[in-house]
Structure 1
């Protein structure tokens, strides 16, 4: 099949262009169901994070992406659907009665792991924007799933907006310790604790 070859080419290119390295600081690359939640500065974030996982984990780990971006154009549709088996969400709420989390809930129920960006949109500034509530609801619905913060460093500087060729900067994906929703923890408390755990992995905060 063509898709595994395309996936190999994309992941190899991502690692080569960024000099990417994975730092498993608080957990190991274990074959357990997880939600990897990361900071979001580039459309290439999920590609680099996915490429940072060992090949066996990539097979069951699906990036969550906005349908409004990835469903425009045949090439994007092919990459997200056939190569990465992405979980597409409706960020524009075309059906107000639909639960926007349903595709993610179904993926978790099927035993898949997810790559999620809780800020909800790309952040061009330093730091991390407040998290949307999705991570909380997924953690509440599937308490058995490990929540792994992942800090992606330098990717927005490797390929800044408007640049044709990448800059030779080292990128890292730093994987932190697993989190879980605590008993009687409020949504606000959980989201802030998760955000703090992600920020703690950033080089300027470590």
Structure 2
């Protein structure tokens, strides 16, 4: 593909996807605990569907989308050349290899992105849960908060996205969805991993009915 044409196609595809997502879901953003602000952040949210990545991206205003990178499961989002192009060229996603074993650190690409100054969208459950409540958070959020104390941690609750593309369906169903952003939290001095992760999970759950 022509090098000059590729960024233009990515931009046009981004605009198309943004319009499609907002038509299907509304992609409403509710900034209840903090304003949308161009500062380095880790947005952490519940995980119900592969579409979570897309909805979170669409809910952010344009000035934040350009500096925020969603986390994408490499095994799913690189299955086809088109999926890989979308997540790379349009979403600027960070691929996480869920199959990594041994000495390989799955957080390495996230650490690199944060060290570079990017904001990220993280799903601390590590895998899809259900719409009632998130599963227990894995250690990644704690490790990143410990390594990057200056990055603002913003909880978010994604509502209804699992109904847009029910399991086994091919055609999306128009359903009003929303992302509620809560008040930032911070890792306390001397706070242990279990306590912090439970508190972070509760901060996400507290946004369900807000």
Specify if TM > 0.5.
yes
1:23 corresponds in structure 2 to: 30
Give structure 2 stretches of 5+ with no counterpart: 1-7
Does the C-alpha gap of structure 1 residues 165 and 89 become closer, same or farther in structure 2, counting only changes over 3 Å? closer
Cα displacement string for residues 98-144 of structure 1 (whole angstroms, at most 9, x for unaligned residues) = 21111000000100000110000111352110001000000000010
1:113 corresponds in structure 2 to: 119
1:72 corresponds in structure 2 to: 79
The RMSD of aligned alpha carbons is: 1.2
Shift of 1:20: 2.3
Q: TM-score, normalised by structure 2?
A: 0.93
CA–CA distance in 1 between the matches of 2:104 and 2:178? Answer: 37
Displacement over 6 Å in runs of 4+ = none
Q: Is this contact kept in 1: 2:42–2:152, CA < 8 A?
A: yes
Q: Is this contact kept in 1: 2:40–2:119, CA < 8 A?
A: yes
Of 49, 58, 67, 2:65 maps to 58
Which shifted more, 137-146 or 155-164? 155-164
CA–CA distance in 2 between the matches of 1:114 and 1:126? Answer: 24
CA–CA distance in 1 between the matches of 2:83 and 2:38? Answer: 29
Cα displacement string for residues 48-75 of structure 1 (whole angstroms, at most 9, x for unaligned residues) = 1111111011011001111111121101
Q: TM-score, normalised by structure 1?
A: 0.94
Aligned: 1:137 with 2:137: no
Give structure 1 stretches of 5+ with no counterpart: none
CA–CA distance in 2 between the matches of 1:113 and 1:182? Answer: 21
Aligned: 1:35 with 2:35: no
Of 9, 13, 18, 2:16 maps to 9
